[in-house]
Structure formats: C-alpha cells, structure tokens
Amino acid sequence: MTPTASIPLIDLNDADERIIPELARALCDTGFVLVAGHGIPEALVSDLRHQTVKYFARPLSEKLADSITAENYRGYIPLGFFSPNASPQDTPTTPDQYEGYKLHVEVTADNAIRTACDLYGPNRWPANGAALKAAVMAFWQGCDQAGQRLLSLIARILNVDPAGFLSLFEYPLTNMTLLHYPPNSNGSDNFGIHPHKDTDALTLLFPDPVGGLWLHSRSTDTWLEVAAPPGTMVVNIGDLLELWSGGLFVSTPHKVINASGEERYSFPFFMVPRHDVVVEPLIPCQSGYHRDPIPVGAVSREVWRTNWPNTLPSDSSFDLGTLTDS
C-alpha cells in the first residue's frame, strides 16, 4: 500500500480560535495543511478542470502559437521544455514531464506599476479561449479570498498585524499554472515535476483524484503521497513564509510522479508578495536558522529566468527551489 502523509485538516468556517492551533501545528510540522470551508464551489473547480482538459487537447500547433518566451513568462509551456533550474550545464537532467499554461496576476499594459517592475503585465490568452479565461478568473478570485483568509490567520500565529501583513500582497506577483501530466511511460522515476521547494509564500492546490503529489517527511526521511478528502484544498507554504517565520514554519520538499496510467491535471495557485517587498524574519529565528533576506522581485525574475533551458543562476545566494536529492 502506498504510504500517505498525515496532514492536519482545518475548516475555515470554524472560529479562528479553533483553527489557529491546528494551522500552527501543520505549518511547523510539515508546512502542508488540508483546508475545508475554503468557499470555492466544487462546480467552479470542475469547470476549470474541464476547460484545462479542453485546452491541452488542442492541436500542438495551436498551443505552440501561445508559447512563452524568454522575455514574457506567460502562455504555453511545451511538454518536457523545462528542466530543474540551477542545474550545472555539464550535468544532464531529465526534463519535467508536463505541459503547462502560465498565468500571472492581470495588470493592464498601461498600469504604472509596470514602470517599476517589468514582471507585471497583461496575460496571454489563447484564441477562442473566452470560457477558459472566465473559469480562470473566477477560480483566481476564490483562491485569492481563501488565501487572504489564511494569511490573516498566519499573521496572528506570528503575532504581527494582519492588515499590515496583507498590505505586502497589494499588487502581488501571484501566479498560477495550468498543468497536464501525461501517463508515465518510463517508470516511477520519471518526474512530472522534480523534487523542489516552492519559492512563494503560499500555494493553493486542488489535487487531481489520480494522485501523484508527494512530500518529503522530515521525521521519517521518506517520501509520502498526499491524500486529500474530496472537496478539500491542499495548501503548503513556500520559502518566503518559512523566512518570515524565522524557520518556525517549514517549506517542505515535494514532487509529482504520475504513475497512475491516466492523464493528470492540476492548477496550482502561487501567492507571492509585491515586487518591492524584501522578506526577512518577522519574529526571532529558531536556533540554527539563518537565511539572507529575499528581495521578491529579483528572486521571482531569477526563478523564471533559470527555468529556461541551459540557463544558470546569476546570483548563487538565491535559493531557487530545486533540490539535488530525489
């Protein structure tokens, strides 16, 4: 039987005083939590899954017309295009076995914030994609509301002002990816997405029922599959929240392996602060924990830039999420 991770479940409809102890335990133990009462209707999730399946069923020539570029990290990501970032060029790596569609917080072309940071801008939407756009935008709004509720609770755990903490997410660099993992034809060692830690603050995900998401257990030093009850959302923190917490919370390595023999689809939502935020501990650090402050805009740019094939990091002090241990 596949070993599964024991992850606490919280219900956002409960009183804060009931949620906070379980949420704190989850973030300190594994950095993962299951969330019910998130307010995102099942019909909305199903609609986005349906539209995602339809998009990836398009002819490859159509999808390639929407491709991302090195200058604009929005649009279609071909199957096997990305390899683990920060890998030395003389070390062969197996490309991740997914195709995707990258979307960012929607900012109009004439918005003044684009002068301050060129990572902002309008999304690239596929031709005849009105239904997909509508599903994405409705889902985005629901995730944003649930995520802000979670961030407010996290601020209380850290004993910082929730309003001030949420203000760091005004004009965020939040983004999401529509993902399709074909059936694994090369055995269980063929990663859908290689082992990594997220470099954001908070990731919200409705996992595909076929499974395939694994996290690394610190207590047992083993990989465990994530199992979520129907209708619940899987939430994990990234390196930014680990740093804000001074190492109290843990950003946990995870990976995707689609060994189901079926098509797998997901659409993770990555909450990232505003470009000019510099993340550093908000509370005293845990014993032995030290990381340099993280400038959100610079690190975001470097993460996306080094995803590009045969591109190495320009600043070795940035931790870009990739892990060498599988």
Question: Each residue of 98-132: pLDDT tens digit?
Answer: 999 999 999 988 899 999 998 999 999 999 999 99
The mean pLDDT of the chain is: 90
Alpha helices in the chain (DSSP H): 16-29, 42-56, 60-64, 113-116, 130-157, 162-167, 239-244, 296-307
- Is the pLDDT score of 183 beyond 90? no
Please give the residue that has the higher pLDDT: either 186 or 269: 269
Cα-only R_g, the chain: 19
Do residues 15 and 21 lie in contact, with contact meaning Cβ atoms separated by under 8 Å?
no
Give the Cα separation of 153 and 170 in Å (integer): 17
Question: Using CB atoms within 10 A of its CB, is residue 40 exposed (0-12), middle (13-18) or buried (19+)?
Answer: buried
Q: In sequence order, which residues have a C-beta less than 8 Å from that of residue 3 and are 6 or more positions away?
A: 222, 224, 225
Instruction: Using pLDDT thresholds of 50, 70 and 90, give the confidence band for residue 194.
Output: confident
- Phi–psi pair at 60, nearest 5 degrees: -55, -35
In tens, the pLDDT along 278-315 reads 999 999 999 999 999 999 999 998 888 777 776 666 65
Assigned token pair, 322: 């990739």
> pLDDT tens, 51-65?
999 999 999 999 999
Q: What tokens does 103 get?
A: 């979307």
**pLDDT at 320 (0 to 100):** 46
Tokens of 210: 């076929």
**Could you write out the DSSP letters of every residue in 221-261?**
TEEEE----TTPEEEEE-HHHHHHTTTSS----EEE---SS
Q: What is the pLDDT of residues 250-267, one digit of tens each?
A: 999 999 999 888 999 999
- Confidence class of residue 326 from pLDDT cuts 50, 70 and 90? very low
Domains of the chain (ranges, CATH numbers): 9-307 (2.60.120.330)
User: For 324, which DSSP code?
Assistant: S
Check residue 62 and give its pLDDT: 96
Do 234 and 269 form a contact (C-beta atoms < 8 A)?
no
Measured CA to CA, the distance from residue 58 to residue 201 in angstroms comes to 33
- 3-51 pLDDT per residue, tens: 677 899 999 999 999 999 999 999 999 999 999 999 999 999 999 999 9
